[in-house]
Amino acid sequence: MNLRDIHTPVLLERCIELLGPALATDDALLVDATLGMGGHAEAFLDRFPRARLIGLDRDRDALRIAGERLSRFGDRVHLVHTVYDGIADAVASVGLGAPTAILFDLGVSSLQLDVADRGFAYSRDAPLDMRMDQSAGITAAEVVATYGEGDLRRIFERYGEEKLAGRYARAIIAARNEQPIERSGRLVDILVAATPHAVQRAGHPAKRVFQALRIEVNRELAVLEHAIPAALEILPVDGRIVVLSYQSLEDRLVKREFAAVSASTAPRGLPVELPEHAPRFRLLSKGAELATEEERAVNPRATPVRLRAAVRIREDA
């Protein structure tokens, strides 16, 4: 497997530009909370020779591959098997102090998409697994087999923003009553058959349903809702954070958390803002930044990305 052929880090130069000021010192410590196959991490370690890395991932295959890729950096690299809402405990367990920079590259990784038997891609027939950590949790096949019509509709609406959620939920219930749905190919066939031809021309019928199942299986939004505040909490003054999101549900959550810590908490009408009410963070990005047309052409997986960044400017009161 040639890692550089299947994994081009998204918005790499912009991430380096934003996090770089926090990585140029002797005590520089980067936490890559979603290590994947280590593409971003490798570039940072090359670019900032004094920086150390704590890499987190729930996917043991990704950790193994990243470990091999980053082995040339020796004891500058520390890898931890954990879900990224465990960032504070993971950092404490390594014992290198507070991170000066944190990177989240959310969503499904290149490894998970490109290895067919993981079941993430609707374009390939595979067992319906979709677990980022294959050692724990329920599979997508179990969700499809056991959830009632109302629950299926709920996750398709909430996590996939799917307008045909009810239709798809009914089709899945009817199909599984005839035969278990254990492979992605059969689920795709069921969804395509349940989709009006006019709607099929607007995009693949399985795209949003597969996204919803993946988010449900891996509790992605619930994890993210805890992970972002935890990451912000452990950053020291001048510490920086960059988050790359790939769908609107993730980006809205990140936007909300960043807005909360970058706003004054002073009551309305207070003539002078007291120090304890001052914002703790300053936003480094104006809204959500997108990939350039050039990057999207070279790396199609950058097309949906939304980047947000912030720097800590004061300690808690």
Known binding-site residue numbers: 38-40, 57, 84, 105, 112
Strands 240-245 and 101-105: parallel
**Residues contributing to the annotated binding site for S-adenosyl-L-methionine:** 38-40, 57, 84, 105, 112
Long-range pairs for 170-176 at CB < 8 Å and ≥24 separation?
A: 170/194, 172/144, 173/148, 173/149, 176/144, 176/145
Nearest to 229 by CA among 250, 251, 260: 260
Contact 241, 235 (CB under 8 A): yes
Judge contact between 132 and 58, C-beta under 8 A: yes
Q: Distance (Å, rounded) from C-alpha 281 to C-alpha 60?
A: 33
Nearest alpha carbon to residue 88 among 20, 31, 42: 31
**Could you tell me the two tokens for 102?**
């944190």
End-to-end CA separation in angstroms for the chain? 50
| Amino acid making up residue 300 | P
Residue recorded with tokens 């991170």: 99
Q: What letter would DSSP give residue 135?
A: T
Beta strands per DSSP E along the chain: 29-32, 52-57, 77-81, 101-105, 240-245, 281-283, 306-312
Question: ∠284-287-288 over CA atoms, to 5°?
Answer: 95
